[in-house]
Amino acid sequence: MEVYQSIVQCFVNLQQYDKAVEYTERFRFRMVAELMASKDIYPDAEIPPQLLEEYYQLQQHLYHLRHSTSEESKQLATANSRFHRRDSREEAEQKLTEIEKTEAKRQQ
């Protein structure tokens, strides 16, 4: 746990906030996965493997959506034409909407 905190703090100090958020998400995902698989939480019942698999797939999907949105934000910042910026912004907004929907589904 301290390793993740140190890594996140390092990225914050370097003002690489996207990397800090990425590592925070990784840590959160790891902790949730460990809790779900823990026999301490579910001592008498097992979590169905398909539920765990669906959860892992949603986490990966969210990671890829967030990563691609971050890349698109960088492209948006360097775009020269107003038309290109408008299209990129719309694409980024669509991705953010998809992230929000996937996040809501994952939390159900």
Q: Does one domain contain both 31 and 11? A: yes
Residue ranges making up the domain that contains 105: 49-108
Closest CA to 22 of 59, 65, 66, 55: 66
Q: What pLDDT score was predicted for residue 26?
A: 81
Give the contacts of 25 (CB within 8 A, at least 6 positions apart): 62, 63, 66
Q: Does one domain contain both 65 and 40? A: no
Q: What pLDDT score was predicted for residue 29?
A: 77
Q: Does one domain contain both 41 and 54? A: no
Q: Does one domain contain both 21 and 71? A: no
Average pLDDT, the chain: 70
Give the number of other Cβ atoms within 10 Å of residue 59's Cβ.
19
Q: Does one domain contain both 39 and 53? A: no
Q: Does one domain contain both 36 and 62? A: no
Q: Does one domain contain both 15 and 66? A: no
Confidence of residue 82 (pLDDT cuts 50, 70, 90): very low
| Total-model pTM | 0.38
Give me the mean pLDDT over the 82-95 stretch.
59
